[in-house]
Structure 1
Amino acid sequence: MPSTLHETLIEMFRERPALAAEVLTGPFGVSVPTFDQALASSSDLSAVMSTEYRADAVITFLSQGEPVHAVIVEVQLGPIEKKRRSWPAYVANLHSRLGCPVQLLIVCPGASIARQCAEPIVVSEPGLSLTALVLGPDAVPVVTDSVTARRNPELTILSALAHARTKRHRAPVLEAFLAGLDIFDQEHAELYADVVLAALPKAARAHLEVLMTTTPHRYQSDFARRYFAQGEARGEARAVLAVLEARGIDISEEARERIADCADIDQLDVWIRRAATVTKADELFA
């Protein structure tokens, strides 16, 4: 079953298909034809009367409505042997469908898997092989300043995943990561923060949590303040409900929702104190 990290990395390309062009022209220096539209296309790359082939994401670049370039995006976090047999079919089938150049881009946060993905896939001898562009730790740019982070927030997320593991880059990379999160809406910013926190090793995760929770810290972003304020509110709401439940007091669905949805820490503190003495849940709100 695909992991949350796997699905989140795919979603970044689906949400903003032009990201694929930025990756090709940036880290890889690949020339992409001029286009006026980038679309996340169907990921079904099966040929008629053939085995089903389904890529993680397919990005098609259009000029005046016609495809001029396409990128198959694959996120690879684990063993690749079966995928290496499928990837040439992905490229061939999409090329047959669109009639334009097709590139295979593999996003791979792990260095050892990235090296395996970068090895050419020999289809036949002589002369027919497929070499993917692999966005592994060595290819991901080290983003350390807030201006670049806000201009390229998705690459900044990849930078945090790739480079925050090393002590040398940890602090500036995570500071830039927080700055980049301010560009996203709250839902996506929370998702990316959760995924990066879960994916980082213990030392890097602890460093990021300090940056996000230390109010005087000069790098704390607007998002970080909202993220942990909401987290604190959820904890306080759970405490209110826990006290009521421990005392055997019935809680209506309406009251439960009102408590759970409250984001006012001061109000929740009042409710926690009242929860220790009330005889009915509704008395909390008096």
Structure 2
Amino acid sequence: MPTKEHELPLEMVRNRPQLAPTILRTIFGIDLPQEAPASLASEAAAGMNPAELRCDATVLLNGPEAPTWGIIVESQLRHDKEKSFSWPGYLALLRGRHKCPVILLVFCPDSATARACAKPIDMGHPEWVLKPLTFHPGMLPPVTDVDEARRLPELSVLSTPVHSDGPHAKAVLTSVAAAIDALNRDSGELYDDYLKGRLSEAAREILEEIVKTAGYEWQSDFAKSHIARGRAEGRAEGRAEGEAEMLLRVLAGRGIAVSDEIRERIVGCTDIEQLLHWGERAGVIDSAEELFD
């Protein structure tokens, strides 16, 4: 049964077919027409044994009636030597059906898998060698422009984990937050679930703050829970500041001197129960140092 990790890149291509030609232009320098509309076609390849020839996804440029390019998209979590027999069949049948040039694009989770899947396939006929174009997220540049991220959210989502702890982290996370905010609920849930499992704790905290500050209303339960947690933490932080201020006022009202070190300890405390305990002691102690006994 296909896993979520296998299906994610395919779902991205199905949601936005333009992702496939964009990767081919950006990463591999393939001269595909910039303005050509991209559409999905049937994954089934009619041949002598169609049950064995069903690719993961097919994209056609310039429409299904007279396409100018065909793209076979495959998702591989590991190298499978059997693909060296099926991949050429996919390309040959799509080329024969639509009478146009075709390309094989293979999504991989990492560089090791991409290298293994990129091994040339010698067809036996002289000079007929298929060289799969394999891709992994580490090959993508950072997406730091909000408008670009909104135009092609899938590219932003794929590249974000690679660059979320680097020098462009804030711009990358700001862009992906805006991109996900513009998506529908189903896609938003899928993409931020992908991010949740791949971002560092520091990057997740920055992303949560960006979502909260910008006022985005992400539709997924994951995002809502994070936003709710951020708001709860904000309320708790505000209450802690209030309790610390009250404690300092009580000490000042009783004429108890408070050193800079003790003041910093009180103001820096975020444990409300601890602050309440100190507040109770503030009414009976004779020096600020006794607060911590």
Structure 1 and Structure 2 fold alike (TM over 0.5): yes
Tell me the residue number matched to 1:92: 92
Structure 1 segments unaligned to the other structure (5+ residues):
236-286
Residue correspondences, number: 229
Structure 1 residue 73 displacement after superposition: 0.6
Change in Cα spacing, 1:161 to 1:71, as seen in structure 2 (3 Å) is: farther
Tell me the residue number matched to 1:42: 42
Tell me the residue number matched to 2:193: 194
Q: Matched residues in 2 for 1:127 and 1:14: separation?
A: 34
Match of 2:52, SS state, is coil
Structure 1 residue 208 displacement after superposition: 3.8
Tell me the residue number matched to 1:231: 225
Q: Considering only aligned residues, what root-mean-square deviation do their CA atoms show, in Å?
A: 3.1
Structure 1 residue 132 displacement after superposition: 1.9
Which structure 2 residues correspond to residues 1-286 of structure 1 after superposition, within 5 A?
1-33=1-33, 37-49=37-49, 52-62=52-62, 65-164=65-164, 172-198=171-197, 200=198, 204-214=199-209, 222-224=216-218, 230-231=224-225
Change in Cα spacing, 1:192 to 1:85, as seen in structure 2 (3 Å) is: same
Partner AA of 2:66 in structure 1? E
Change in Cα spacing, 1:208 to 1:142, as seen in structure 2 (3 Å) is: same
Q: Matched residues in 2 for 1:146 and 1:233: separation?
A: 21
Tell me whether 169-178 or 82-91 shows the greater mean CA deviation.
169-178
Structure 1 residue 179 displacement after superposition: 2.5
Q: TM-score, normalised by structure 1?
A: 0.68
Q: Matched residues in 1 for 2:173 and 2:79: separation?
A: 28
Whether the 8 Å contact between 1:58 and 1:73 is mirrored in structure 2 is yes
Structure 2 segments unaligned to the other structure (5+ residues):
230-293
The one-character-per-residue Cα deviations of 1:88-126 (angstroms, maximum 9, x if unpaired) are: 111112112211100001112311001122222111152
Structure 1 residue 161 displacement after superposition: 4.2
Structure 1 residue 150 displacement after superposition: 2.1
Change in Cα spacing, 1:210 to 1:48, as seen in structure 2 (3 Å) is: same
The one-character-per-residue Cα deviations of 1:16-44 (angstroms, maximum 9, x if unpaired) are: 22222222222222122577543211101
Q: Matched residues in 1 for 2:216 and 2:169: separation?
A: 20
Q: Matched residues in 1 for 2:83 and 2:147: separation?
A: 37
Change in Cα spacing, 1:52 to 1:223, as seen in structure 2 (3 Å) is: same
Change in Cα spacing, 1:221 to 1:40, as seen in structure 2 (3 Å) is: farther
From the CA coordinates, give the structure whose radius of gyration is larger. 2
Structure 1 residue 46 displacement after superposition: 4.1
